[in-house]
Amino acid sequence: MQHLMSPLDLSVEELDKLLTLANDIEQNPQKYAHACEGKKLATCFYEPSTRTRLSFEAAMLNLGGSVLGFSSADSSSASKGESVSDTIRVISCYADICAMRHFKEGAPLVASQKSSIPVINAGDGGHQHPTQTLTDLLTIRSLKGRLDNLTIGLCGDLKFGRTVHSLIHALIRYPHMKFILISPEELRVPSYIREDLLEKNNIAFREVERLEDAMGDLDILYMTRVQRERFFNEDDYVRMKDFYILNRKKMALAKEDMIVMHPLPRVNEISVEVDDDPRAAYFKQAQYGVYVRMALILTLLEVEVC
């Protein structure tokens, strides 16, 4: 694998190896502290981010490497009209690996075709977010002990939420996964996911509107934010934004060992009163994001640590 554009760029075996490496990094951070000395990561972010950009940077710094980059389109030459193809050719002269986030679907793919260094898609519009998926898989495997025979509820903005799209692509490859898609009618998963992925592959799934109708069945509840920046008008966003609010009362309907995940940032969809519930896993999930990005950087740079 030279670049990471979609979670499907990794086979299930490669993924397994990567997650095992991430767990080893978690257990033995010192072993990896100098693994990327002398190497540079460029973070090219044309769209806002806190976790993804900083967790990439933390990952490279934890490996003894260094980081450079920009955190908005305004502060890069994109504002002067430079194409991503030209930008990546230049970045290839400065860094050994690049994580790119872009508001346009497919932009990191275009960049990867012109790049001489590995490019990681750090989120492209409403399309994919493969490193969040790696984070999610590591969280599930670490906290639930497996990636099969689980019922996962994906709740919120399933139409524009790229983390959900990538996660479904990745999880349907494991046996006996069941999906409950919880969204208002207007924010259902795109039909290419429902028809081409779920129905064609005979994956068990159902769509519901009320969180209460799914809660008791779930091993994992994956909450998402309504993606304000992808709405065409503000009124629709305002109407949708508080459709789901997970609170203590709803948590009482869930299994005792269910886990609650969220890619973050959260807005109102999880009440802060849930944060103290032992089933709340979203801050742990953010920590797993650093380990898995460390494992990904090592893998793409083909650095072996004995």
- Catalytic residues, by residue number, are 51-52, 80, 101, 129
> Measured from the CB atom, is 43 or 163 closer to ligand NCD?
163
Residue 162 found at the interface with ligand NCD (CB under 6 A): yes
Q: Which of 151, 163, 166, 299 binds ligand NCD (CB under 6 A)?
A: 163
Identified binder of ligand NCD from the candidate list 17, 39, 51, 250, rule CB under 6 A: 51
> Quick one: 163 or 183, whose CB is closer to ligand NCD?
163
| 293 lies in the site for ligand NCD, by CB under 6 A | no
- Choose between 51 and 114: whose C-beta lies nearer to ligand NCD: 51
Q: Are 214 and 222 within 8 A, CB to CB? A: no
Residue 144 near ligand NCD by CB under 6 A: no
CB of 123 to ligand NCD, least distance (A): 5
Q: Closer CB to ligand NCD, residue 118 or residue 123? A: 123
Query: Total residues contacting ligand NCD (rule CB under 6 A)?
Result: 10
Name the residue nearer to ligand NCD (CB basis): 92 or 224: 224
Binder to ligand NCD among 132, 133, 151, 299 (CB under 6 A)? 132
CB of 287 to ligand NCD, least distance (A): 13
* DSSP notation for the chain: ---BSSGGGS-HHHHHHHHHHHHHHHH-GGGGTTTTTT-EEEEEESS--SHHHHHHHHHHHHTT-EEEEESSGGGSGGGGT--HHHHHHHHHHH-SEEEEEESSTTHHHHHHHH-SS-EEEEEETTTB-HHHHHHHHHHHHHHHS-SSS-EEEEES-TTT-HHHHHHHHHHTTSTT-EEEEE--GGGPPPHIIIIIIIITTT-EEEEES-GGGTGGG-SEEEE----GGG-S-HHHHHHHTTS--B-HHHHTTS-TT-EEE--S--SSSB-GGGTTSTTB-HHHHHHHHHHHHHHHHHHHTT----
Work out which of 100, 221, 263, 270 binds ligand NCD, going by CB under 6 A: 263
Rule CB under 6 A: is residue 264 a binding residue for ligand NCD? yes
Cα separation, 238 vs 132, whole angstroms = 26
Contact call for residue 155 and ligand NCD (CB under 6 A) = no
The verdict on 123 binding ligand NCD (CB under 6 A) reads yes
CB of 306 to ligand NCD, least distance (A): 32
Point out which residues bind ligand NCD (CB under 6 A).
51-52, 123, 129, 132, 162-163, 225, 263-264
